[in-house]
Amino acid sequence: MTRFDSGETPRLEVDSLTKRYGEVTAVDGLSFQVGPGEVFGFLGPNGAGKSTTIDILLDFVRPTSGSVRVCGHDPETAPRAVRRRVGVLPEATGYYERASAREHLRFAAEMKDADPTPERKLERVGLGDAVDRPVGGFSKGMRQRLGLAMALVGRPDLLVLDEPLAGLDPAGARRVRTLVREERDRGAAVLLSSHITEQIETLCDRVGILSEGEFVVVDTVTRLRERLDTDRSVVLTLAERPPEVELEGLTGVTSVDEREAGVRVTCRDPEATGSVVARLDAADATLLDVDGRGGSLEQLFLTLTDDERETTGRPVMAQEAVE
C-alpha cells in the first residue's frame, strides 16, 4: 500500500526520461513518481539504467530527452536547490582517508548549508564510538554507514540510497532498515536502488523493476507477489528467538520452526511481511535471511522478461546478470 496521496507534490518526478550513449540506450522513456512518506524500490539487474537515472537527477549526467523534477526543481537549471533537498548514498563513495567521521559530516553540512551536528547522525548509523577515528581505518560496512550518515545531513526531502544494505552484517542491515523507516515516517521520500533482492523488498511500499532502461513492472510488493502463481509465503530466518516478542502472535506469521541453524518464521501474508520485519528489527532480532518460498520478485522479473522475449524476440537477461 502506498502512503503517497496523489494530491501531494511528488518529491521525485521522472517523465519520459531517455538517455543514450551513442548506440546504447541506458534509459528508455522512463516515467515514475515518488511521494513524501513513500519508499520506492528501484530494482533491476546490472546495466538496467538505475545509476544513469540517479546521475541525471543529481545533474551529473544530462538527459537526451524527457525530464526530472526534484521537489519541483529541474536539476539542470537549479542544481543547488536539488542538492540541498536530496541526501545520497552513492554506490561507491570517495572518502578522505585521513579525515575523521566527524569531519566528513561537517563537510557534508557545509555543502548543504545545514546545521553541523555530527554526533547524533553517527549514533543513528552505529558509528557513535568512531566519531574521531580517521576513515582510513574503517571497514567496508563502517564506510557504508558513514555514507548513510552523510546522506542524512540536512533532513533531506528525498533520500537516494544505492545498494544501502551492501556489505553490512545483520546488525548493520537492521540499523539501516530502521533508519529508512524512520526517514519515511518523518515524511521523506526514499528511492532505494538495488538489484532485485528479498531483503530490499521488505522495505518498499512500491517497486519498479527495470530492464534495459524501461520498467517491466511497477506496483506494490503485495500485488506483484500476487502475480506469482505460487505459494506466496516468505520465510524469515532469525539467529535466535527475540526475548520480548511472541513470534507466533505476530499478524501474518503462520508458523515458527526452531532449528539448529536458526528460527524460521513463515509469513503467508505478503502484505504483513514488512511489518513483521519492522517489529523484529525494533526488538533487535538478528535477521539472517529473507526467502520468498513460492517465488521471488526476481523470478517474476525473469518470467516477464522471458515473456517479452517470446513476443518481441529480444534476448532475455542472462541469469548471472541478476545475481
Ligand X SMILES: Nc1ncnc2c1ncn2[C@@H]1O[C@H](COP(=O)(O)OP(=O)(O)OP(=O)(O)O)[C@@H](O)[C@H]1O
List residues near ligand X by CB under 6 A. Answer: 21, 24, 26, 44, 46-52
User: What is the DSSP code (8-state) at residue 288?
Assistant: E
Nearer to ligand X, 2 or 31 (CB): 31
CB of 194 to ligand X, least distance (A): 8
For residue 33, count other CB atoms closer than 10 A to its CB. Answer: 18
**At CB < 8 A and 24+ separation, what contacts does 256-261 make?**
261/237
Nearer to ligand X, 54 or 135 (CB): 54
CB of 52 to ligand X, least distance (A): 3
Backbone φ and ψ of 233, nearest 5°: -75, 155
Distance (Å) of CA 230 to CA 224, 227, 288 = 12, 9, 24
CB of 48 to ligand X, least distance (A): 4
The residues, any chain, with a CB within 8 Å of residue 30's CB and separated by 6 or more, are: 14, 16, 17, 18, 49, 53, 66, 210, 213, 214, 215
Nearer to ligand X, 129 or 320 (CB): 320
Nearer to ligand X, 197 or 233 (CB): 197
Partnered with residue 160 across adjacent β-strands are 88, 191
Alpha-carbon torsion (212, 199, 119, 159), positive or negative: positive
Nearer to ligand X, 26 or 302 (CB): 26
CB of 154 to ligand X, least distance (A): 25
Q: At what angle do helices 140-152 and 170-185 cross, to 10 degrees?
A: 10
Nearer to ligand X, 18 or 52 (CB): 52
The DSSP result for 36-49, as a single string, is TT-EEEEE--TTSS
The residues, any chain, with a CB within 8 Å of residue 70's CB and separated by 6 or more, are: 11, 12, 57, 82, 85, 86, 158
CB of 91 to ligand X, least distance (A): 6
Nearer to ligand X, 48 or 101 (CB): 48
CB of 17 to ligand X, least distance (A): 12
| Helix (H) and strand (E) counts in the chain | 10, 13
CB of 47 to ligand X, least distance (A): 4
Q: What distance in Å separates the CA atoms of residue 236 and residue 288, rounded to the nearest whole number?
A: 8
Q: What distance in Å separates the CA atoms of residue 258 and residue 92, rounded to the nearest whole number?
A: 38
Nearer to ligand X, 25 or 266 (CB): 25
Q: How far is the first Cα of the chain from the last one, in angstroms, to the nearest whole number?
A: 27
CB of 123 to ligand X, least distance (A): 30
